[in-house]
Structure formats: C-alpha cells, structure tokens
Structure 1
Amino acid sequence: MRDKNWTTMSATILLIDDDQDMGQMMHDALTPGGYKTLYAQDGLTGLDILQDQPVDLVLLDLMLPEIDGWEICRRIREFSDVPIIIISALGREQDVIRGLELGADDYITKPFRMGEIKARMRANLRRCQRPFAAEPVVHIDDRLAVDRLTHSLIVDRQTVRLSATEYKLLNYFLDNPGRILTQQNLLSQVWGWEYMDQTDYLKVYVHRLRRKIEEEANEPRYILTERGFGYRFQVPGS
C-alpha cells in the first residue's frame, strides 16, 4: 500500500474474481470516479500484482479456481496491510467471521448494490490514510509501543504488522485510556456510522489485537471487557 497523501478517489483498486463480467462491471463503475482498477482472474495472479505494484485496496472473491479466497486473504496478510474487502455469495455469519479472522477488513455479500461497494471502499480507504503524527512513537509500557508513522506495533522490541483497521482500533483505545468505550462508540469511531450494527466485526478485531499485544490473549491485561458496556484499555499497573 502506498505511504503518501492521496485521495480516496484516486486510489488503485485490485479486484480478484474469476468472473470476467464482474471485472468489467467494476471497472466501468469505478473508473469514472477517478479510481484506477486492476483485475486478476485468480488468486496467484492477484498476489503477483500486489507484490509488483502499489495497490490501495483489494476486492476479493472467495470462490476462486485452484486456491480459494480464504487462503489468498491469509497470504496477503503475511506481507501486506492493504485493506481487503471480501465480496462473496457466502453470507452465513460463520463465513463473515472467518473472513475477518483471516485478516479481511470488511465483508459484503452478493448480490450487492454498487453504492454500497463504493461507500465501503471509501470508509476503508479513509481508515488507512496516515496523517502527520505529533508523537511518532507512543510508548505504552516497557514491552509495548506503537509507531504512528509506520502504523506498526512494537512488542518486546519486535515489530508486529497491523492492518489498517487493527491500527485504527488500537489508536482509538490509546486516545481514550481507562475510559469505558461502548460497542456503538467503537464501531462508529473506527468503522463509521454505517457499521453500527456490525458487532461481530468489533469482537473479531478485539480478539485479533489481543493476540498481538497480550501475553495471554485469553487473560487480557490491556484490552479489558466491561460486560454489558463494551471495552476499556488499561496499562497494567497504572
């Protein structure tokens, strides 16, 4: 993903979908708005494109030939924090949760409305824009720090990659230490008001963050659950 100031309407979008008609439809719908579109008919081609040129957002189908979209999503997250929106006919709750757990930032079921796709794209692109950081590195305690220039986490002196959504969620926790944050507050501030009812998104991403920052994810000391209310970020011992 590019690390510079660009507008959401000039972003490069990679669509990975074996349906060529879908590829043409997305191209025709997005290019008039200023987006640059790239198309891959299978996952391996999509991975090659991601590694060869700047891409700002990926639209990923799950039912791909040879290697399915689940595996492609996992492989992308091994080397890139580019926002991923899964677009699939698989619409069960467990499918959505699985996609988010593999690192997708959003999940849209087919059939969809183009207006919804564009709105979700804009929301995800906004989350990954990197404004100037007054404090480039925020030290949480002796073992944790956040680099606000690279949007990465430092755990026990080791750099840990964060996706755009993981970073924004953690950053919002850091800006509100000790404060109980409701699910609705977190969803509106991190994802946007359009996601106010997507509580599964929040649960999955809190779990993902805990796996990265906690010594024991099942016994969290930083991101605490306030039952019936939401979550609270606390530095142990403070």
Structure 2
Amino acid sequence: MARVMLIEDDPSVREGLRLSLGRHGHDVEVARTGEDGLRRLLVAPADIVVLDLMLPGLDGFEVCRRIRAGGPTPIVMLTARGDDLDVVSGLEAGADDYVVKPVRPRVLEARIRAVLRRGGPATAAAAGQETYGELTIDRGALTVSKAGVPIVLPPMELRLLLELSAANSQVFSRQQLLESVWELDFLGDSRLVDACVQRLRTKIEDIPSRPRYIQTVRGFGYRFGPL
C-alpha cells in the first residue's frame, strides 16, 4: 500500500509496529534515531513518516521540522501525552496528525490511510487561476504563488487554502474545516486546524501576526480575505 518510514527508539514498540503495519500491506523501513531516519529518507523517500517525538539525540520536533523543510512528505507523530504542549509543538513543527501512546496498531494504520487519502489532490470548486492581491491560486494546476514566486505547500496546507479561498469571506468553524479538509468528524482535534493555519500564514502572509489573507474570527474560526 505505502512505503512507511518508522522512526522509533523503543525496540519493542518499533518491532511491534513494523510487523503490524507490514501485515496491513505496508513496506516499512525502520530507524532507531532521528539522524538515521533522515539519512534513510534521503536515500529512499517514503510515502509517509511515523515519528516518535521522544528520540535520543535529535528529537522528534527537530526531525519533523527538517522533513517538512525538505518537502511535503506526510508525518504522523507518536506522543506519550495527548493533551499537552507536545501535541501543539509537534503540529506546529509540521506534523499532519498524531497518535497517543500506547499505540494501538489498528488505530495507527487507520490514521496512516486517512492522512495518505487526505494528501491526495484536493477537489477545487472550479478549475482556474485566481488572484488576490499578490497571491495567485491555480486550482487546475494545484499551485500557489506570491508576487510571481512559487510557494510549495504540503498537501494539507494546500487543501486548507483551497477550501477557504473557494468561499471568499465565508466564515468556517474549526469543526467545518476538520470535516471538509481533514475528513474528521467529532473525533477530530481542532489543534490540527490551528497549527495548519499558523504554518500556512508563515508562507503566504507578509506579516503572519497581522494576516491579510487568512483571518481569525474570534470564538468561531477562520475566513479568507484579503483585507
């Protein structure tokens, strides 16, 4: 099904997940450290990375940032806690989703399939090129540029931008975006939306803290401008 890079330092967890994901048809490459995982990804890129946050040496947050800086490879992070700063920090570093330890292999496999499905081409409301100030969105080619300079966006950030800009000035709640962009229902985590918006703003806004294109509607969600 997919080539999975699993970066996990705990040998029992690593082997258990390797066997389980292999039984589901995935081709699983394993790495014990972040440094080893990055080296292996350079030699043979993966379809998706499953990344433990608590790694010896180079920690999972930095590994996540380096993978994201190198391209749009989807990342599912493994975290020991689901309701603290680790989740937010991991999402802000570029992760697409997360699974809380102890990991149930069936849950992880379902998340992998969901992230890969969501990472496919987004459905545009109408094909064609649209210009908003300096920002140009080509729905047919699935490309974005600013002042003529191409902006490379990971699949989830591109899907979010396409969704918001398809209904200019319409306010979307976080739950609506989870359902339409992430394809998650009540089990979704609104932090996925907030972190993705934050990452997207750093790429398309002149001043991310004073956004022109993706505006926050306090107490509800987001809308696409521009102002």
Q: TM-score, normalised by structure 2?
A: 0.89
Supply the distance in 2 between the matched residues of 1:159 and 1:212 (Cα, whole angstroms).
11
Matching residue of 1:180? 171
Q: What per-residue deviation string (whole Å, max 9, x for no partner) do you get for residues 194-228 of structure 1?
A: 46551222122212222221222222221122233
Supply the distance in 1 between the matched residues of 2:105 and 2:145 (Cα, whole angstroms).
39
Matching residue of 1:3? none
- 97-106 or 87-96: bigger deviation: 87-96
Residue 58 of structure 1: how far off its partner (Å): 0.3
* Identity percentage of aligned residues: 38
For 1:52-71, list aligned pairs within 5 A: 52-71=43-62
Change (3 A) 1:152 1:33: same
Matching residue of 1:31? 22
Say which of 87, 95, 118 aligns to 1:96: 87
Residue 75 of structure 1: how far off its partner (Å): 1.0
1:87–1:107 contact (8 Å) kept in structure 2: yes
Change (3 A) 1:51 1:211: same
Say which of 106, 113, 117 aligns to 2:104: 113
Residue 169 of structure 1: how far off its partner (Å): 0.9
Supply the distance in 1 between the matched residues of 2:106 and 2:30 (Cα, whole angstroms).
20
Say which of 22, 37, 41 aligns to 1:50: 41
Q: What per-residue deviation string (whole Å, max 9, x for no partner) do you get for residues 34-65 of structure 1?
A: 21111111111211221222311100012222
Matching residue of 2:180? 189
- 37-46 or 205-214: bigger deviation: 205-214
- 45-54 or 70-79: bigger deviation: 45-54
Residue 74 of structure 1: how far off its partner (Å): 1.1
For residue 193 of structure 1, give the secondary structure of its aligned residue in structure 2: coil
Say which of 189, 206, 217 aligns to 1:198: 189
For residue 13 of structure 1, give the secondary structure of its aligned residue in structure 2: strand
Change (3 A) 1:178 1:58: same
Say which of 198, 208, 226 aligns to 1:217: 208
Change (3 A) 1:232 1:153: same
Asked if 1:154 corresponds to 2:145, the answer is yes
Change (3 A) 1:229 1:68: closer
Residue 150 of structure 1: how far off its partner (Å): 7.0
The gaps in structure 1 that reach 5 residues or longer are 1-9
Supply the distance in 1 between the matched residues of 2:226 and 2:75 (Cα, whole angstroms).
31
Residue 131 of structure 1: how far off its partner (Å): 6.4
The gaps in structure 2 that reach 5 residues or longer are none
1:15–1:23 contact (8 Å) kept in structure 2: yes
Residue 28 of structure 1: how far off its partner (Å): 1.5
Supply the distance in 2 between the matched residues of 1:116 and 1:85 (Cα, whole angstroms).
12
